[in-house]
Every structure is written in C-alpha cells, then in structure tokens.
Amino acid sequence: MPTIIVEPTEACNARCAYCYVVTRESRATKTMSLETLDLLFFRIDEYLAARPKEFMGLVWHGGEPLILGVEWFEAALGFQKQHCPTTTSRIRHAIQSNLTLLTLDFVRIFKKLGITTVGSSYDPFSNLRRLGEARDAAEYNRRYRDGVELLKREGMGCGIAYVVTRLSLNRPLEIFSHLLGFGVSGPIDFNPVRIYGEDFSDLKITAGEYADFLGAIFPVWWRDRAGLPDIGPFTPLVRNLLDGDRRVYCRDSGRCAQVYLNLEPDGRLSHCNRLSNADVVDYGTIHDRTLAEALADPKRNLLLERNRVLFEGECQGCRFWNICHGGCPADSWYENGSLLHKSSLCDARKGFVEKYVEPTILDGLRSQGGGLPD
C-alpha cells in the first residue's frame, strides 16, 4: 500500500530538545495551504481510480498537526468527500501527535476519517519534552496524560514512541513500567535518539548502549508478553525470528522505496520525513506531478539498488538480513552522506539479538535441533 507522510505544518507547540524542528527555529515555519490540501485529495483519487485494487495510506505528521485546529481536518474530510466519492473506502488515515492539544472535537473528526489509533511520543522523566517558550515540562506531561485518557474514554487506541537518550540508560525497567502504566492498546516503541553533529551530543548513545537498554527490558517483556501490547522492536523481531513473519517496521523493511512518499507543507514531494532534506530523493511537487509519477521517479532506483549493494557488500552473509536489511536509509545518509551503506544501528540490532534474545528464547529451540528460520 503506497503511503504518503503528510506534513501539513512545521509548527509545533512543544520544544523537544532532540527534535529536528528545534533546529529550524531560526526560520519561519511553513504551513500547508488549503489549495494544496485540496490538490492532495484530487491526486489520491486520480491514483486510486486508475488502480481499483490498491489502497492509499495517509500519515498526518509534523511539526504538531493538531496546531492547525479542528477546522483544518474538517476541510481535509470535506476534500476527501468531494474528490474521492468512489475511492474513499480505500484511503487509510493515521496520525502522529504529542496529544497536548487533543480535544473531543478532534477525536470526533478522527473517527470520521477512520482513525482508530493515534500515535504519540512521550518521556516521563527527562524533561526533554516541554511546552512553549517557557519549556514547561510539567504542563506537557499533564496535558499528555489528559490526551491519553481522552482517547481511552472514546474507545480509541494510543501508541507511544519513546526516545532512548543518555538520560534513559540507568532506568530502563522504570521507564518500561511507567509507559505500561498508561494502559494503552497501541504499540509502545523504543527508538534510539538520532543526533548527527555536535548539537545535543550529551544525549547521544552508542549502538551497544541502545542494545543493553533493550536487553534489560526484553526478559521482562518476554515473560509477560501475552498480556501486553506490541512492543517495538521486540514483537516484530520475535515474530520474524520464530515464525518467519517478515513484517518489520519501515526502517528495517528494505521496502521503503516501494511504499513511501513525503509531502511537505509547500507541496514538495520527497521520500520520507527523515530524508526530506536529501536532494537525491526529491521528487518534485504535487502541483506539477501525479502521485504515480512521483512513485515511479527514477531517483527511487537508488533506494531499490541499496538492497542489492548491501546484500552483496557490507551485509553479505549476515544472518540477520531479514530483520534489518541494513537499517534505515536515512541513518546512512546522515552518517555517511550516501544511501548505500548500512546504518550504524545494525550493530545494535545484532548485539541485542545475540546477547539477549537468543539466550532468552532460542537456545531451547537449538537444543531440540531447531533454530532460526531461513
């Protein structure tokens, strides 16, 4: 399913220390016009009408998308009804928000768009996530909790992404317990902080430190997993290793070239929100190109070629290829200035599996003559 990551605005009401939006504070943030929003749904219908068996995903991202107000999303729903009367059932909406602006009116419009789970991000202890110019962490936390409770009352799911920084390393189980305490039904995902260059270098962690953070949590999750929501990267990793289920998150799939487009507020099309500044994956604008043309852009061939280059080169013979595929191309770009290298986080993935996952769950299989699926 092709998926468009829609960035309707770069503006945000929060000031999270490691967020890329913080580095843009010196310039005016951009917001998508209603004309571009209108055109987006015209392009979606154009694409789906020519492909009656396909679906289209939309992930509303940012910035903080809720800063645009309920009326903006009502306009999106109106444009969808106007342009997509016969294809609307094949459009799948999702959204990522910090939840601090969430209201019942937003929940109602989300339901009309077919959104069942809202992705969020949270850090209970470090005070790295803060609201407004005053950088008020306590208010951020209070409003985030209120947002989670509102979603639960309204029967909607909530996912939580947690960013592992140097401030996290000494309290993995405390953090895990706190996040589980929200009682969310959506996934909880642990991502390493991604900082390139010298800014916020005091928050950086190594691949080994990330692996050890995950390793402290994994045995607890494994013991209690039947009663817990999906945990990333544990759940897809274990399904892959034990059941041969090849579904993994986008960063590890090796398939992002075939799936994703990023739409910026001014209509520019790129590969994904993490690679929006990389000219090698600039696909023009939605004003000048159809979605089919952008998805078939020859520049995407570099990402398709990446799999072959890594499989025959840096990743040759790696038994973890199916769960990693060299990691996220964006990491490679920011670390090496090229898409054709593996991510440094590959070492974290390998170390985590070998040091923690296999001793916990796979040694027993091997003693019985089993092991990892091919």
129-155 pLDDT, tens per residue? 888 777 788 999 999 999 999 999 999
Domains of the chain: 3-232 (3.20.20.70), 300-367 (no CATH)
Helix residue ranges, H only, 69-159: 70-83, 104-112, 137-153
Q: Which of 139, 137, 115 is nearest to 128 (CA)?
A: 137
Q: Say if CB 60 and CB 94 are below 8 A apart.
A: yes
User: What pLDDT, on a 0 to 100 scale, did the predictor assign at position 26?
Assistant: 45
Q: Average pLDDT of the chain?
A: 88
> In sequence order, which residues have a C-beta less than 8 Å from that of residue 314 and are 6 or more positions away?
326, 341, 342
Q: Which of 9, 45, 3, 80 is nearest to 290 (CA)?
A: 45
Kindly report the pTM of this predicted structure.
Answer: 0.90
User: What pLDDT, on a 0 to 100 scale, did the predictor assign at position 242?
Assistant: 80
- Give the lowest-confidence range in 36-45, 221-230, 323-332: 323-332
Most confident of the ranges 135-139, 252-256, 361-365, 367-371: 135-139
Q: Which residue has the tokens 């004003």?
A: 287
Most confident of the ranges 147-161, 232-246, 260-274: 147-161
Structure confidence by residue, pLDDT tens digits, 221-242: 999 999 999 998 998 888 887 8
Calpha distance 254→258 (Å, rounded): 9
Q: Would the pLDDT of 330 be above 90?
A: no
User: What pLDDT, on a 0 to 100 scale, did the predictor assign at position 19?
Assistant: 76
Q: Say if CB 242 and CB 250 are below 8 A apart.
A: no
Calpha distance 251→59 (Å, rounded): 15
User: What pLDDT, on a 0 to 100 scale, did the predictor assign at position 370?
Assistant: 54
Q: Would the pLDDT of 103 be above 50?
A: yes
Q: Would the pLDDT of 198 be above 70?
A: no
The bridge status of strand 268-270 relative to strand 260-263 is: antiparallel
User: What pLDDT, on a 0 to 100 scale, did the predictor assign at position 366?
Assistant: 59
Both structure tokens of 219: 């045995």
As to burial, measured by CB atoms within 10 angstroms (0-12 exposed, 13-18 middle, 19+ buried), residue 284 is middle
Orientation angle between helical segments 104-112 and 70-83, nearest 10 degrees = 10
In residues, how long is the chain? 374
Where is pLDDT greater, at 306 or 242?
306
Where is pLDDT greater, at 219 or 243?
219
Both structure tokens of 294: 């952008």
Q: Say if CB 330 and CB 88 are below 8 A apart.
A: no
